[in-house]
Structure 1
Amino acid sequence: MCGLVFSININLDLDICDRFLKRRGPDASGHFFNEDLQAYHTRLKIFDLSDNSNQPYTDDGHNFLLFNGSIYNFKDLIKKYEIDQTSSDTVVIYKLIRKYGPKIVEEFNGMFAIVFFNILDNNVYFIRDRYGIKPLYYYKYKSKFIISSSAKLIAKHLDLDINDEYVSFGIENGFYDEFNHSPYQNVFPVKPGSVSRLFDNKLETNFYYQINKCTFYNEDFSELRDILIDSVNTRLIADRAIGISQSGGVDSSIISFVTSKSIDTKLKAFCFGSKDKQSEYFNAKRHSDKCGLDLINVEPKNSNKSFLDLVNDVIDVQEAPFLGTSIVAQYLVFQKANEQKITVMLGGQGADELFCGYKKYLYFNRFSVFSLFNVFYEILFNGYDFELIKKKFLRKKSSPRKFQYDFSSINNLSLQDLTYTSLPTLLRYEDRNSMAFSIETRLPFLDYRLVDYVNSKNKSNFIRFGFTKYILRKMFNGQISSKIIWNIFKRGFDTSDYFENDSNILFVNKYISSNKQYLPSFLSNYVSHTNQLKDWSIILSCLWYINELKDS
């Protein structure tokens, strides 16, 4: 993992660059400046711990590479293309793009944001991985161009205003439009799966990968387990210490189970929650003991910071608003992992979108007796609010900004979650929180081989007997505790008791009211029309906006 910035006709302020990129890459930094082009890179060493792969990387003095991410199959590419032996994926990327052009990224299995430029003809390519796991933003106006891992770095260089549409869209829909917008005006995300070329001040973009709707579905799942296991094992290659995010849920438990069968050493796993009956700690603990993992629990009551200070820390690293306090819990988990000297973490992001794990997918199994039983059971014990779900997902949109979910088929709904409504926002949360502590997160459920295989199936098979992700659960039944694999409750990082209590709500409301002058009208109207804000998406958006303007 690393941080990068490249500009044409824009002078880079290295103090600003370090402020937003140093935590992404604390191990080394480098720059290139000439009359027109400037580049800066910070490196987190994962493969090849020497300085040989420091960037901007070049071996001829006129082609240069800036790269953030990891290519897990780089050793296979070395053999296939007979590249001189190296322990660096950076060197492999550079040599392959220089020889074969950017189309070669179709063979990369990994996550990446790449800028490849030639100083003789000012030809620039920039490329983003298939699902947008690694961030990349750009600004272009006339002959000025800048691209970076950090949208806020760009905004600071150019004194750009906040994009209110991005913020208000997130509040109204429960996710952000990470595909088309950023938190700052005129700063845009590079599209996932795209290759762009900037030459002679003209920008051209093509897609080397897109998740497409299938018209014919294959019902054979015989290869699923092998592909999933290989996607996990592929992500266990690193020259730094590896850990696992272990929530006690299905996805993380599958990853830790597979990992335990592949690695002899005792890995550290990290969980969030108090040690009480409402927490998933006990499930995580039992599973970790069975898998031979060293479980380290993060208890919110042990934080030595006030809630507001903690939220402000997360606001700083996210560089964008967020919609719930579970993001604070995720931040604390990565903080604990950093304290334990972990540099690489495996997590389960992407499984709910790919395997239809959210409660809304029960709509496609709503007439099943078992489904109704599970829904009623959760209503009694976990507060399943069907009216809220129906209001959010099924009713026609009430405003131009309100997103309309596609319930015409389960595959279409899953495709929306993978490309727009869910995953891009969650990937942003994960990347910023992990990079705050210089940790590379790897996501086995987003191996493109697994995604393509699963998306070729009829996902109606994933909802059975009132269970989401039925295929996954059945596949690991008997190997993972039934208390996990057949648990219908979906908690994630449950922060309702720890962060969203009355005293914190009262405190943050006082703070927001005393700083109301910083809020735009669409947020100040919320404050004016209620005695106390209780919607955390609005509360957190107000806090982010206040911090942004105080920082300007």
Structure 2
Amino acid sequence: MCGIFGTLNYEYAVSEEQVFAGLLHRGPDEQGCFNSRSVNLYHTRLAIQDLSTSGQQPMKYNGLVIVFNGEIYNHMELRKKYRLEAVSNSDTLTILMLFERIGMKMLEEFDGMFAFALYDTLNLRLYLARDRAGKKPLYIYQKGESFVFSSELNILQQVCKPEINYAALADYLYLGHHYRKATPYHLVNELENGHYVVIDTLPGQAQDICWFKIEEAYRNDRQLPYEDALMQLDQHLNRAVKRRIESADLDVGSFLSGGIDSGIVTAMAAQQQSRLKTFTVKVAGSFDESLLAEKVARKYDTDHTVVEIDFSDLSNDIEKIISNHGEPNSDNSAIPSYYVAREAKKYITVVLNGDGADELFGGYRRYVPFKHIDFFNPNQFTKISSGILAKILPVANQKQSLYTYCYRLLKFASYTDLVKIYCSASSDLFVGFEDVFIQKPTMLAITSDLERYNSYAISPLKKLLLMDFESMLFSRLLPKMDIATMAHSIEGRSPFLAKEVLDFAPGLPDHFKIRNIQTKQILRDLGKRYLPEALIHQPKRGFEIPLQKWVDHELWEVMQHYLFAGDALYPKIIRKEFIEQLIARRISISDERRAKILFCVFSLEVWHKSL
């Protein structure tokens, strides 16, 4: 795992020391650079595969130069398929050899996570590419014919000093994260998952090409008997886990919660690697998953560690945790993710996780009603009756209660606007409070995508799963995990985001995923082959974070400092009186939603002050 940075036709001098310092946490083992004409490439390396000097970057091969962040797990299989021979086992070298053979068609062959910049010195073309899910980040600053790109926004901002995009920040507050290409800056975009950009370096002309669309997989139904689907899923996941273990020259560990996703991954990994190192989080005051996780650890005789987190340093660490992202981040689960990665680094450098399983197989409770009702196209009776009930019922305050679940269901069932429906069903921040915005959210990109998905002849559940993959997973959850792990120079690998799984899962029938009110049914049935019975029917929990308590107690002093600052940024976007009334509890809103909005605005302020 590494950090990459580069410039093309950039008129200002870039300090090599500044770049390396800004990305050192992503690659503390080695640093290197390449300079030729108008192209400059920088690389910081976290050595995991091919630990010898033959894996150093920037890597050169027959007129090609690359800086690469990620892993190609099936690269040795591809060497055999295309009869590529080399002394080094570096996957980076495989990319260069395969590019020479078939060009960018090679991306379709890769099972991996990656972001890379490949410079063809003979044809004077620069290629910037990302993997199918967007596991590894890449941000691009473009001003005319000038380009600067980076693994992280912080160093890009320090070098380019782009202007703040207030319209993008309004969209962030409404949705809770920056959607797809959007960033908080003008002239800076995130390269989307499944895309690559090819730039003709002389005129500086760029073309953005989509090489993978998961929506196409959602539009192709798989007509499989259930037992055949279960068998194929088992094979795909075992292959994915095996590849992610074998393609590391260091020991691979596994995050092990009390759920079925990480449990299945751990069970499969333990069959590949003896005394697998496993890690479970134990948080005081929340559900103790360590007891369930230990059942799996004992079953497979893993080298198990329970990481206890008490958040005693939270008020001191919170600004660093948020500012690491380089953009506002409302996902408060970034906090425990940061601490877990920090503790895991004491034992391991490569760790498996269950990321992507919920979005592909229907793991969240909110997916259940979409299996049975088309909320994207509600009838008039549903809209009117839901709206009336939502207005007269008491506000829901208990986060995990059935009443809260039904209350939120009624709220988003009453909306007709697709963006309101989606935002209410997912982030649930400012929906219903649109009048507090001074800088109005435009939500143009997400509106366009929602309208396109809604026009497809697919089920409401598939529309929501597709949207969550492209929005929640790509723009929020994967960046959170990348930043948390790379802040501590640790690499996270996600078998559920393997090439074969991404091709397979979207086309499965809805009832393979949601059966009556049971979530991710096919994974639960797969879990019966590997896991203790006690884990099979456990509900989705994630990190149970006491956000309400933090906002009112542990974080209140530091949040007050930011929210009441005379130079605060948010009053340029939303009315300050709304936040003041929210703090004073003069707004009719649940305690959980109040805390989420305040944390979302607080994150905006921390990011802004860190510039």
With the length of structure 1 as denominator, give the TM-score of the two structures: 0.90
1:80 and 2:81 aligned: yes
Equivalent residues in 2 for 1:286-365 (5 A)?
286-301=295-310, 303=311, 305=313, 307-340=314-347, 342-364=348-370
Q: CA deviation at 1:471?
A: 0.9
Aligned partner (choices 2, 18, 38) of residue 16 of structure 1? 18
Residue 191 of structure 1 is matched in structure 2 by 192
With the length of structure 2 as denominator, give the TM-score of the two structures: 0.81
Instruction: Check the 8 A contact 1:195/1:207 in 2, yes or no.
Output: yes
Residue 386 of structure 2 is matched in structure 1 by none
Q: Structure 1: which amino acid aligns with 2:81?
A: K
Residue 58 of structure 1 is matched in structure 2 by 60
Measure, in 2, the Cα distance between the counterparts of 1:412 and 1:343. 37
Residue 252 of structure 2 is matched in structure 1 by 242
Measure, in 1, the Cα distance between the counterparts of 2:250 and 2:29. 12
Q: CA deviation at 1:85?
A: 3.5
Higher mean displacement: 496-505 or 183-192: 496-505
Change (3 A) 1:428 1:281: same
Change (3 A) 1:28 1:542: same
Change (3 A) 1:114 1:508: same
Q: CA deviation at 1:137?
A: 1.1
Q: CA deviation at 1:25?
A: 0.8
Aligned partner (choices 511, 526, 540) of residue 599 of structure 2? 540
Instruction: Check the 8 A contact 2:256/2:262 in 1, yes or no.
Output: yes
Q: Helix, strand or coil for the counterpart of 1:318?
A: coil
Q: Deviations over 1:161-204 (max 9, x none)?
A: 33334443233224430x12123222111121123210031111
Q: Helix, strand or coil for the counterpart of 2:92?
A: helix
Measure, in 2, the Cα distance between the counterparts of 1:287 and 1:153. 41
Change (3 A) 1:58 1:348: same
Pairwise CA RMSD of aligned residues?
2.7
Measure, in 2, the Cα distance between the counterparts of 1:548 and 1:208. 33
Q: Structure 1: which amino acid aligns with 2:415?
A: R
Q: Helix, strand or coil for the counterpart of 2:324?
A: helix
Instruction: Check the 8 A contact 2:61/2:96 in 1, yes or no.
Output: no
Instruction: Check the 8 A contact 2:130/2:191 in 1, yes or no.
Output: yes
Measure, in 2, the Cα distance between the counterparts of 1:380 and 1:510. 25
Residue 263 of structure 1 is matched in structure 2 by 273
Equivalent residues in 2 for 1:23-422 (5 A)?
23-60=25-62, 62-82=63-83, 83-177=85-179, 179-199=180-200, 200-211=203-214, 212=216, 213-220=218-225, 221=229, 222-237=231-246, 238-264=248-274, 266-274=275-283, 278-301=287-310, 303=311, 305=313, 307-340=314-347, 342-364=348-370, 382-384=400-402, 385=404, 386-392=406-412, 395-397=415-417, 401=442, 408-422=459-473
Change (3 A) 1:293 1:389: farther
Measure, in 2, the Cα distance between the counterparts of 1:282 and 1:381. 23
% identical equivalent positions: 28
Change (3 A) 1:116 1:394: farther
Residue 393 of structure 2 is matched in structure 1 by none
Q: CA deviation at 1:506?
A: 2.9
Q: Helix, strand or coil for the counterpart of 2:337?
A: helix
1:481 and 2:532 aligned: yes
Q: CA deviation at 1:504?
A: 2.0
Q: CA deviation at 1:111?
A: 0.8
Instruction: Check the 8 A contact 2:562/2:568 in 1, yes or no.
Output: no
Higher mean displacement: 530-539 or 516-525: 530-539
Q: CA deviation at 1:441?
A: 0.8
Instruction: Check the 8 A contact 1:69/1:113 in 2, yes or no.
Output: yes
Aligned length: 535
Change (3 A) 1:484 1:477: same
Q: Helix, strand or coil for the counterpart of 1:464?
A: coil
Q: Helix, strand or coil for the counterpart of 1:101?
A: helix
Residue 5 of structure 1 is matched in structure 2 by 5
Q: Helix, strand or coil for the counterpart of 1:348?
A: coil
Measure, in 2, the Cα distance between the counterparts of 1:547 and 1:485. 40
For structure 2, the 5+ residue unaligned runs are 374-396, 421-433, 435-440, 586-590
Measure, in 2, the Cα distance between the counterparts of 1:423 and 1:192. 7
